[in-house]
Structure 1
Amino acid sequence: MTPTPPPPLLSPPGVSLKTHVVVVGAGQAGLSAAYHLQQLGLVPHQHYVVLDAAAAPGGAWQFRWPTLTLSTVNRIHDLPGLPFAQTVGSHEPQVRASLAVPRYFAAYEETFHLPVVRPVRVSLVTEHGQRLKIGTDRGDFSARGLINATGTWETPFIPMYPGADRFRGRQLHTRDYTGAQAFAGQHVLIVGGGISAVQLLDEISQVTTTTWVTRRPPEFREGQFTEEAGRAAVALVEERVRLGLPPQSVVAVTGVVLTPAVEAMRARGVLTRLPMFSEITEDGVRWADGTEQHADVILWCTGFRSSLDHLAPLMLQGSEGGIRMTGRLATQVAKDPRVHLVGYGPSASTIGANRAGRSAAAELMTFLGLP
């Protein structure tokens, strides 16, 4: 089989394409930022460009597991200027999120003629005089400002536990999940107390035996997940990043809504939760008191970390382990105001992404003296 040739360079070797602003990432936050840059007067391609690593529109949504539907996600928030419900099939609750959201993002990019270039993978962002040099696999870009919207999907987090290297079964992360039938006939140990963990526990427990393990007792929320509740959760995360602390996930502070599906899980006895084990054995896990549990599969639903390795040369991280953020919605990096992070901390979900994109675009243009 003939290998696929790499995409051609966007710029000749040694030459950087110059623009005012580069947006990295075309998920919810990146598209929101791009829309507002355009609304505030920047000319697509000439004044700003969006670089996206994926081959197609949809951000991380296009990679979600097939059984995640519009009825099982918390909520898909509208991007500015185009309601989600206007896209084909998005009003149907059982449609796959991995199909509906990419369809929406593609329509959004087309409707507003956003200058998204893909696939372009950003490798390093470095100082280059008064500008920033954005190195990619398709040439270099030179920008006066950067809006980083790379999200978290590329950085799955699995905590280190003694014995992980000797486990003879399979270890997977939420990112690797494709469906419950793959685990039929195996005992699956599911680790994590968030929404994804509960959803996958529900699916897998219907085809095989499971054990559920969490670090803290899970918090269940009665009633609908309202916009007010979402904003309150965002505020808690925002407080941390303004102090330079590593951000918590927004989802981690919202709790799990007691939907009919969750109530049915409780009735089936699936929500019996155990505390975290102390080590992993060849055939399962062991707690500090010596209790053991056999497992064929360990599924880590333990979240993600911000995908920011390409920003390492800028040395933005502080002594507290996070990046101290400032600005109206905590999108501006205090150490380097030319850089805004959307999809980081309080905007790491559809709850805060839209407002963060608008705020970042306006504040960056003001800082750069752009009209």
Structure 2
Amino acid sequence: MDSGYGRLMAASGTFRHPFIPDLPGQEQFQGRALHSLEYQRPEAFVGQRVVVVGAANSAVQIAVELSGTARVSLAARTLVKFTPQRPFGRDVHDWITWARVDQLKLGHLSRLPSPRNVLDPGVYRAAFLQGQVDQRPLFERFTRQGVVWPGGQQEAVDAVVFATGYRPNLRFLFGTGALGTRGEPVQRLGVSLTVPGLYYVGLSGQRAVASATLRGAGPDAEVVTQHLARAFSQRG
């Protein structure tokens, strides 16, 4: 890939390749199984029994929205943790931008609250406390008609919505040596560690907290272009 001055920049994004975990019995489930990317409106689930899988913002938002038209459980391996959306009267994103937390390098994350906490404008925690949505441990397996909960209880389910995140959309790099065993790019700060001349912009966790967002793409690209400039200058 590094013949002559050839370079390849992979900027295909992080949020278009949905990840769905492989759960036992999933292929036999006769209900509807979909990723949050496919979810559009709660009216499609009126009167149904729905399980939403996940514990982050998308899972909670979808579950609460669906609770107005369906009977909903949120199933996850971890408990949902809420963070107020507007501490001290300002949106948390305003505080993050003002304090430049979004530009902190990933090595500083251990000093911050978990980025997986659900931002709550005041309605999501209340919906759980009021019983509109109940949270359960992740079910053990699918059946033809539904799921089996921990402890062996079987329940008929109409639909399962997987709000389980995304993986980098880098399938075009399969077989090049650029990706690890789980399909993740082997890189540091947007520079491939295994394929000379290959660079990335827009990866989640590429450089800082804001990587893969609009606030992070520009600074990430600047780091990559600086590396490119040094590489060209060294080649004369």
Q: TM-score normalised to the size of structure 1?
A: 0.53
Instruction: Please tell me the residue identity of whatever aligns with 1:180.
Output: P
Q: 1:336 to 1:238 in 2, by over 3 A?
A: farther
Alignment partners' CA distance in 1, 2:34 and 2:108: 27
How do residues 190-339 of structure 1 correspond to structure 2 at under 5 angstroms? Answer: 190-222=52-84, 223=87, 224-225=92-93, 226-227=95-96, 228-232=100-104, 235=106, 253-318=115-180, 322-326=184-188, 330-339=189-198
How do residues 101-140 of structure 1 correspond to structure 2 at under 5 angstroms? Answer: 127=1, 130=3
Instruction: Please tell me the residue identity of whatever aligns with 1:130.
Output: S
Structure 2: runs of 5 or more not aligned: 206-210
Instruction: Please tell me the residue identity of whatever aligns with 2:223.
Output: S
> Is contact 2:20-2:164 (8 Å) kept?
yes
> Is contact 1:170-1:296 (8 Å) kept?
yes
Q: Secondary structure at the match of 1:197?
A: helix
Structure 1: runs of 5 or more not aligned: 1-126, 132-142, 240-251
Alignment partners' CA distance in 2, 1:237 and 1:321: 25
> Is contact 2:52-2:59 (8 Å) kept?
yes
Identity of aligned pairs, percent? 26
Instruction: Please tell me the residue identity of whatever aligns with 1:171.
Output: A
Alignment partners' CA distance in 2, 1:268 and 1:206: 13
> Is contact 2:52-2:74 (8 Å) kept?
yes
Alignment partners' CA distance in 1, 2:214 and 2:131: 32
> Is contact 1:216-1:275 (8 Å) kept?
yes
Query: What is the deviation of 1:181?
Result: 0.5
Alignment partners' CA distance in 2, 1:269 and 1:238: 33
How do residues 50-199 of structure 1 correspond to structure 2 at under 5 angstroms? Answer: 127=1, 130=3, 144-199=6-61
Query: What is the deviation of 1:197?
Result: 0.9
Alignment partners' CA distance in 1, 2:29 and 2:224: 45
Q: Secondary structure at the match of 2:218?
A: helix
Moved over 6 A (4+): none
> Is contact 1:340-1:364 (8 Å) kept?
no
Query: What is the deviation of 1:320?
Result: 8.3
> Which residue does 1:364 correspond to in 2?
228
- CA-based RMSD of the aligned residues comes to 2.8
Q: TM-score normalised to the size of structure 2?
A: 0.80
Q: Secondary structure at the match of 2:43?
A: helix
Q: 1:163 to 1:333 in 2, by over 3 A?
A: same
Query: What is the deviation of 1:292?
Result: 2.2
Q: Secondary structure at the match of 1:257?
A: strand
Alignment partners' CA distance in 1, 2:134 and 2:27: 27
> Is contact 2:52-2:75 (8 Å) kept?
yes
Query: What is the deviation of 1:278?
Result: 0.8
Q: Does 1:352 align with 2:211?
A: no
Alignment partners' CA distance in 2, 1:291 and 1:357: 50
Q: 1:352 to 1:188 in 2, by over 3 A?
A: same
